[in-house]
Structure 1
Amino acid sequence: MLTTSYTIISWLLVFSYWFLIVGITFRILIKRRSVPFAMTWLLIIYILPLVGIIAYLSLGELHLGKCRSERVRSMWPSMAIWLKNLHSIQHLCSTKNSDIAQPLFQLCENRQGISGITGNQLQLLTNSNVTLRTVVRDVQQACHNIEMVFYIWQPGGQADEVAEALIAAAQRGVRCRLLLDSAGSVEFFRTEWPGRMRRAGIDVVEALPVSLLRIFLRRMDLRQHRKVVLIDNYIAYTGSMNLVDPRFFKPHTKAGQWVDLMARMEGPIATTMGIIYSADWEMETGKRILPPTPDANLTLLKPHNDHTILVIASGPCFPDNMIHQAILTAVFSARKKIIITTPYLIPTDDLLHAICIAAHRGVDVSIIIPRYNDSFLVRWASRAFFSELLEAGVKIYQFEGGLLHSKSILIDGQLSLVGTVNLDMRSLWLNFEITIVIDHHEFGSKLARIHNHYIAQSCLVDARCWLQRAYWQRIIERLFYFFSPLL
């Protein structure tokens, strides 16, 4: 009798095991995913069944969790009305763009309902110390409201000066809201700063909390990766820089200090970015804080405020693959030159082919990446793409002046993209990201000078030498390339 019971239990376990394997397999195949992505997960599940199944259930699908998903669905009607009111102010919305920019602007207006906004002043900031001092100055002069969202807030140095300025602003009556990613800002939440800020009246929210108890309820590696500062619905910042002082952030890494690029904007674009912040805030807190629609008086700006800026947002509550499609559109629009800066180069197959096709068309394509970065896995995985890029004629520069963290694309000296998006699977398909697009030749010239400054501190990868690298290096590259759809 005992033997029979043991046999029945054994067969039930075997049946349950194979039923689970088959169920997960069908779940992966039914989802409309890229072939490499699906094959990677299937191999992991078949080679390491139990570990693979747990990993897929926690990391394999893009789900926010029931509460956040319901908030996302409920917020869109109000946002649609806000965007409709914005578009009713005709002289705020761009009606004419360059031939290079037109396809991208049309794509974004049709898919996300946000068009290019005119009447803005724009400044590029390349020095982290200057950026932090400028943020402190703007915070000190704020009168009504300050909203911030960052992936990383690392206490120390000038970051503490920003915190003190924010506390002082709240104490004099400015409404302050701070949204920080739970994983990226884990050290911040272990310090006294959150308590001090809350006592001063600042709303401090930990976005997408990390917890083992929620591992099957929400995808844990889905992160809030935006970097945004909004002040008085008129001043806005975004770009690659976290709220950190580079002198105090990861000081012992081989890569050196992080080198970032931020854009400071004045004008109605700030309220457009505010609608994205409102979506993030409501998703986390359930509270609605829609910004005011730009007033007609706001457009009575000085003549030099002539930049048209388009904001693109991505993430689970925004149109699928929006920034990925925008980058593809920009690359296909290029006729003469493309310059890309990214700290992490693990492009999708579509993006890799688009870049190579552009080079084959005769477009001068350059990619600037750091020689060393803070991710061992990403560093080796990115090298697996070098051969195909170099064979197509793409120039790859390895920056040696620190960890080049800026994320930018310049098309034909006219169309500029600056923001938080890395050219990797995580930024393009998963995280909450933001990018601004500028259709302006003068601004493109400024960005080109920054790129040339990066190139002057870089080493060009020689295609012939690359082909002669050791076989053990190629093996490691291919091994980590296998995991590239998951990085």
Structure 2
Amino acid sequence: MWTILLSILYTLFVVGVVVVILTGGDDIYRMFSWLMVVLFIPVVGIILYLLFGRPATTMELIPKGFLEDINRMPMQHADTELHERLLEDSYYGSIAKLLYNSDDRTVLAASSMEVLTVGKDKYQRLFEDISAAEHEIHMMYYIIASDELGVKLRDLLARKAREGVKVRVVYDGLGSFWSDVKGFWRPLRRAGGQVYAFMPIRLPFFDLRINYRNHRKVVVIDQRIGYLGGMNVAQYYTEGNELGQWRDTHFRIEGSAVAGLQRVFLVDWASAVHKRFDLEPFFAQIDRGAPYESPIAMQFLTNGPQAHWQTLEQALVKACSIAHEEILIQTPYFLPPAGLQLSLCSAALRGVRVCLMIPARGDSLLTQRASDSYLTQLLQAGVEVRRYAGGFLHSKILVVDRQFVGIGSANMDFRSLEINLEVMAFVYDEQKARVLGKTFDEDLTACYQLSLDEWSQRSLWRRILEAIARLFSPLL
């Protein structure tokens, strides 16, 4: 009797979940993937969908009105002339307008921008800036490990808090889960620092918010210096691990553009503390529309549960469409939505050199096999696929025509482009684009190139595994 009743209830529940999937507004590929999981993996498939598949569009991390107030703050710091000139530029204008209209991102100006591609260099520079901080330190990372590097950072922040500097830290509740449960942050809190987890995970296998993670890496110091990029805080960035030395890209800026990073941090902060606060003091010391001698124009774009558009994906697709000569990409995880895959193939087919650099060895077998399933179509279209064998490639950059750059925390996968909270900067500066293009060329010396003939010879079992793994692409 009970068996029949439970079977009926489970069947009704499955039917209800299928209806939700079919009416949820997802693209057909993502919808199909979830239907396969729910229908062919009994019970576990339902749990996976509840944890990882529900639409995030109805989630409100902070009140909509307060979010709009925060988003408007950087506009006060824009160089209006630079903003208008870029939006009307014959080359940059189309993508700058897209970002301005879809994500309300004003063009901001940095007075300087320093590219950091070595972990030791980045942390040395960051620790120097923290040590020199006089007023406030804002920090958000997906992972802050409780290893030697993490302890050094925490203790430095605690010292600055004791000196009277306002220290505010947000870490992701899943990415830094083990640091959280070990009481790692207790010394900083005792010193007066404010530390909060973003969506803390109390019951990892039952918390329905586990899917929505804050993957951003943002630091703002004294409303004067900002950091953004792909590096978390972990010892393997300086010492390496079983995957080898980690290769990543970060940048440090000064100037009015810091307002854009301050906005991103304050959105995370408001989500973590669950209360409103006065915004003016957090922007009072940032340059307001300063006409720098050599301004570096940039727009900061974000996505997440409260975003109206998939801005990051739109920006990447648009960048591919305006490329005249070359598209250079570094990403550790390549599981692109259909629109981005098609854009890359289309660019290659019309004669643009498209070069995709991905790790030779990934940190997840399932993810790497799913990623491999996308390569055949790219190779057939003429895309250069390079495997980086100099360690683990964790860098996330896009260089178009060596004219502008996209750089930030987002990978080229479903999770970064459609689910996670991410941040990228599009930098419209030929000099910086050429610097990062040159760095890309140097990284090529540690790569080997895949050929279509070689790739076509992989075994049938390998192809079957790739096809199965691809079904899980929207989940990975």
TM-based fold match above 0.5: yes
Shift in CA distance, 40/299, structure 1 to aligned 2, threshold 3 Å = closer
Shift in CA distance, 277/102, structure 1 to aligned 2, threshold 3 Å = same
Distance of 1:397 and 1:272 partners within structure 2: 33
Instruction: Work out which of the residue numbers 55, 70, 75 in structure 2 matches 1:79.
Output: 70
User: Once the 2 structures are TM-superposed, how far is the Cα of residue 322 of structure 1 from its aligned partner?
Assistant: 1.1
Instruction: Work out which of the residue numbers 17, 25, 29 in structure 1 matches 2:18.
Output: 25
Distance of 1:441 and 1:222 partners within structure 2: 35
Q: Which shifted more, 272-281 or 408-417?
A: 272-281
Counterpart secondary structure, 2:62: helix
Counterpart secondary structure, 2:177: coil
Contact kept, 8 Å, 2:77 with 2:108, in 1: the verdict is no
Aligned residue in 2 for 1:225: 215
Say yes or no: does 1:55 pair with 2:48.
yes
Structural mapping, 1:317-328, within 5 Å: 317-328=306-317
Amino acid paired to 1:121? S
CA offsets 1:412-447 (integer angstroms, 9 cap, x no match): 110100111111111010001110111111111100
CA offsets 1:268-288 (integer angstroms, 9 cap, x no match): 111221112111111121133
CA offsets 1:56-100 (integer angstroms, 9 cap, x no match): 12221134997xx2624242342355355446x635745325433
User: Once the 2 structures are TM-superposed, how far is the Cα of residue 126 of structure 1 from its aligned partner?
Assistant: 0.9
Aligned residue in 2 for 1:95: 85
Amino acid paired to 2:141? F
Shift in CA distance, 213/383, structure 1 to aligned 2, threshold 3 Å = closer
Contact kept, 8 Å, 2:345 with 2:381, in 1: the verdict is yes
User: Once the 2 structures are TM-superposed, how far is the Cα of residue 160 of structure 1 from its aligned partner?
Assistant: 3.2
Structural mapping, 1:165-204, within 5 Å: 165-191=156-182, 193-204=184-195
Counterpart secondary structure, 1:223: coil
User: Once the 2 structures are TM-superposed, how far is the Cα of residue 45 of structure 1 from its aligned partner?
Assistant: 1.7
Aligned residue in 1 for 2:206: 215
Shift in CA distance, 484/300, structure 1 to aligned 2, threshold 3 Å = closer
Task: Give me the CA root mean square deviation.
Answer: 2.3
Contact kept, 8 Å, 2:155 with 2:187, in 1: the verdict is no
Contact kept, 8 Å, 1:152 with 1:185, in 2: the verdict is yes
Counterpart secondary structure, 1:71: coil
Counterpart secondary structure, 1:372: coil
Counterpart secondary structure, 2:85: coil
User: Once the 2 structures are TM-superposed, how far is the Cα of residue 34 of structure 1 from its aligned partner?
Assistant: 1.1
User: Once the 2 structures are TM-superposed, how far is the Cα of residue 307 of structure 1 from its aligned partner?
Assistant: 0.3
Q: Which blocks of at least 5 consecutive residues in structure 1 are unaligned?
A: 1-5
Contact kept, 8 Å, 1:281 with 1:288, in 2: the verdict is no
Aligned residue in 1 for 2:380: 391
Could you state the TM-score of these two structures normalised by the residue count of structure 1?
0.91
Distance of 1:247 and 1:417 partners within structure 2: 22
Contact kept, 8 Å, 1:154 with 1:249, in 2: the verdict is no
User: Once the 2 structures are TM-superposed, how far is the Cα of residue 481 of structure 1 from its aligned partner?
Assistant: 1.2
Counterpart secondary structure, 1:406: coil
Amino acid paired to 1:322? T
Equivalent pairs, count: 473
Say yes or no: does 1:105 pair with 2:122.
no
Contact kept, 8 Å, 1:415 with 1:444, in 2: the verdict is yes
Contact kept, 8 Å, 1:119 with 1:299, in 2: the verdict is no
Contact kept, 8 Å, 1:381 with 1:477, in 2: the verdict is yes
Contact kept, 8 Å, 2:330 with 2:397, in 1: the verdict is yes
Say yes or no: does 1:470 pair with 2:463.
no
Amino acid paired to 1:178? V
Contact kept, 8 Å, 1:119 with 1:301, in 2: the verdict is no
Q: Which shifted more, 360-369 or 320-329?
A: 320-329
Instruction: Work out which of the residue numbers 266, 285, 299 in structure 1 matches 2:273.
Output: 285
Distance of 2:266 and 2:29 partners within structure 1: 35
Distance of 1:185 and 1:259 partners within structure 2: 21
Instruction: Work out which of the residue numbers 415, 427, 431 in structure 2 matches 1:442.
Output: 431
User: Once the 2 structures are TM-superposed, how far is the Cα of residue 477 of structure 1 from its aligned partner?
Assistant: 1.1
Distance of 1:81 and 1:369 partners within structure 2: 37
Distance of 1:152 and 1:142 partners within structure 2: 23
Structural mapping, 1:383-422, within 5 Å: 383-422=372-411
Aligned residue in 2 for 1:3: none
User: Once the 2 structures are TM-superposed, how far is the Cα of residue 11 of structure 1 from its aligned partner?
Assistant: 5.7
Contact kept, 8 Å, 2:76 with 2:288, in 1: the verdict is no
Q: Which shifted more, 279-288 or 445-454?
A: 279-288
Counterpart secondary structure, 1:49: coil
Counterpart secondary structure, 1:237: strand
Distance of 2:423 and 2:370 partners within structure 1: 24
Structural mapping, 1:5-404, within 5 Å: 6=1, 12-63=5-56, 69=60, 71-79=62-70, 81-83=72-74, 85-86=76-77, 90-91=80-81, 93-96=83-86, 98-191=89-182, 193-212=184-203, 215=206, 218-246=208-236, 251=241, 253=242, 255-289=243-277, 290=279, 292-293=282-283, 298-300=288-290, 303-304=293-294, 306-404=295-393
Amino acid paired to 1:34? D
Contact kept, 8 Å, 1:61 with 1:219, in 2: the verdict is no
Counterpart secondary structure, 2:466: helix
For the pair shown, which has the larger CA radius of gyration, 1 or 2? 1
Distance of 1:449 and 1:60 partners within structure 2: 40
Contact kept, 8 Å, 1:136 with 1:161, in 2: the verdict is no
Identity percentage of aligned residues: 28
Contact kept, 8 Å, 2:102 with 2:309, in 1: the verdict is no
Distance of 1:28 and 1:297 partners within structure 2: 47
Contact kept, 8 Å, 2:204 with 2:210, in 1: the verdict is no
Distance of 1:118 and 1:143 partners within structure 2: 24
Distance of 2:181 and 2:5 partners within structure 1: 47
Contact kept, 8 Å, 1:143 with 1:174, in 2: the verdict is yes
Counterpart secondary structure, 1:204: strand
Shift in CA distance, 249/56, structure 1 to aligned 2, threshold 3 Å = farther
Shift in CA distance, 412/202, structure 1 to aligned 2, threshold 3 Å = same
User: Once the 2 structures are TM-superposed, how far is the Cα of residue 320 of structure 1 from its aligned partner?
Assistant: 3.0
